[in-house]
Amino acid sequence: MSVFRPSASALMTVAATAALLVLVALPVAFILLQAVFPGFARGSLEGAFSRLSLIFEDPRLLAQTRNTLLLAACVMLGCLVFGLPIGILRGLFHIPGARLWDVVFLIPFLIPPFIAAIAWMMTLQPRGYLWQIAGVDLGRQLFTFAGVAFVMTLNLFPLVYFAVSRSLEGVGSRFAAAARVSGAGPVRAFLLITLPLSIPGIAASLLIVFAMSIEEFGTPAALASRTGFEVLVTGIYTRLSDFPIDLNGAALGSVILMALVLAAFFVQNWVATRRSYVAQTGKPASLEKARLGVWTVPVLGLFALVAAIGVAVPLAAIVATSFMGTIAGGLSWDNFDTRHYQPIFRAGSRAAQALVTSGWLAAVTAFVTAAIAAAVAVVVVRGQGRSRQAMDALSVLPNAIPAIVLAVGVILAWNSPFLPVTLYGTTAILLVAYAAILLPYPIRYAVARLRQIGGSLDDAARVAGAGQAQVLGHVLLPLMAPSLIAAMMLVFAIASRELVASIMLAPAGVRTVGTFVFAQFEQGSVQTGMAMSTLAIALTSTILLAVNLWLARQGGSAFSG
């Protein structure tokens, strides 16, 4: 594997390290200081380490940790069931309307988790939409541990779908074809050749699913609260919201979450690095996908089934609620009207301001995180030394911390009186928080993709006279571009509806889609909140589809490797 010369390596390392230190290490450091020093928020350094023993002694904290791990394991398994089959089919075969399916499966990221949970509640609860349509009541099944895992799975399975399809597109079918020439059957060639080469992408997606599962707040809070099933993140929220506020207890819970994700990261890193997964070298090869033939209709049926369960049902519930005059009126034509959309389309309204603010914040966050991810990936995969492992571990820390706790860390860090200039109280602090929270996604995608690009391509470019900057700009970045663009679109989708950090950090008078919708639910205007969610989902989906079609005309795609 080739290595950049010291000057270029040092420059790339400094840039990546500076970004991670500012966005990640700073708020994390303040959280750790709070965990170590119980009185840190009051400016006291007394009683160091006096409460760390509670991590192993508090039965409630231990139960929350156990529940968190159990829930994350079930969600990972569910995401494999939903995302792996269609991801394999998308990566290896020509799927009619493939780009449209990609946008459809991106929709779960456009729906705030707490909105999706409410949509499923209104669908499956007693006298809910399913009961009104088919006379079926599944409320008892929804308000259980299995129900929570099911709803969270439907929010996260696209991560596995996109990662698997991108990885398999990079692998292609040429290795399996060579195996078949040697006498292997198609199934054996896939299981022994093609699928193992995509392991980095699968492992990266499962790491993100695990991290998002243990830090997700909306779904457990909405559904699990009725069953007494408490996880770490809801426990942390309780400590931050109920009087007396327990900052130290919240910090201890965050430390446990960080430890869990770091352990998962080391497992994923061991899987991805214990053997070579290079699937692309300097040799030209056709990546033409196979035709489905007689299997076209069954495969499209499978895609439609997954889309119906994971996308259509919650989306239909959101849209239906947005057009209801009253909730009590139910699914009746006489109860449908557009009154709840009128405030949104009013010129200069708060809703219009929220849409614009969320739009530009999401777009800037996507570009910033992609640039940082490219730099981190090059250092981690192409660099040398133990510092690159520390950098890789640091990049996943934001997913180990609930967004609300990370927001507290950002407040503590950027509101410090020792800073000569602070971003706190400005819209820029939202950009800092969004980038910190969402940075792990493009980094994991970029690192997984770069591990599939053989170092011989770098060597060949240098032999041809290319400099270090040219190798990066004309060889590595173009090959990483599909994964980076796909990650940018995921970041854009998630940032456009981010809630927790926005509530904690938005300056006075600044509104985002998430804070607007949350305020509507707080005020009892469920239909207006659903109307805003519907409009935001429609606008974001249209933008993502337009970008994807434009890229396709340029000879590429945000969803093709």
pLDDT at residue number 560: 43
Q: At 24, list the tokens.
A: 């990640």
**pLDDT bucket at 181, cuts 50 / 70 / 90:** low
- The position carrying tokens 């006379």 is 135
Q: Residue 533 pLDDT more than 50?
A: yes
User: Which residue, among 451, 378, 458, has the nearest Cα to 198 in the 3D structure?
Assistant: 451
Q: Using an 8 Å Cβ cutoff, are 116 and 154 in contact?
A: yes
User: Furthest-apart CA pair in the chain: how many Å?
Assistant: 73
How many helices (H) does the chain have, and how many strands (E)?
A: 30, 0
Q: What is the mean pLDDT of residues 369-380?
A: 87
- Whether the ω angle into residue 244 lies within 30 degrees of 0, i.e. cis, is yes
Three-state DSSP state, 453: strand
Q: Residues 425, 507: contact at Cβ < 8 Å?
A: yes
Is residue 455 within 8 Å of residue 512, measured between CB atoms?
Answer: no
* Cis preceding linkage at 6, omega within 30: no
Radius of gyration of the chain (CA): 24
How many other C-beta atoms lie within 10 A of the C-beta of residue 417? 5
User: To the nearest whole number, what is the mean pLDDT of the chain?
Assistant: 79
What's the confidence (pLDDT) of residue 553? 65
| More confidently predicted of 459 and 298 | 298
- Of 65, 56, 223, the residue nearest 151 (C-alpha): 223
More confident residue, 170 or 88: 88
Q: How far apart (Å, rounded) are the C-alpha atoms in residues 234 and 237?
A: 5
Compare 46 and 10 and report the one with higher pLDDT.
Answer: 46
* Token code pair at residue 352: 């219009």
What residues pair up with 453 in beta bridges, in sequence order?
280
Residue 303 above 80 pLDDT? Answer: yes
**pLDDT given at position 559:** 44
Q: Are the CB atoms for 174 and 286 separated by under 8 Å?
A: yes
Identify the top-confidence range among 138-142, 172-176, 344-348.
Answer: 138-142
Average pLDDT of 498-527? 83
Phi, psi of 453 (to 5 degrees): -100, 115
Helix residue ranges, H only, 246-349: 247-273, 296-307, 313-322, 342-345
**Are the beta carbons of 205 and 168 closer than 8 angstroms?**
no
Any idea of the CA torsion for 433, 435, 436, 440, to the nearest 10 degrees?
150
Q: Would you state the pLDDT for residue 75? A: 94
For tokens 């993502």, name the residue: 544
Q: Which residue has the higher pLDDT, 360 or 137?
A: 360
Contact predicate 415/424, CB 8 Å: yes
**Identity (one letter) of the amino acid at 201?**
G
Model confidence pLDDT, tens digit, residues 101-110:
888 887 887 7
The confidence band for 538, taking pLDDT boundaries of 50, 70 and 90, is confident
The rounded distance, in Å, linking the Cα atoms of 452 and 440 is 19
Report pLDDT for 561: 41
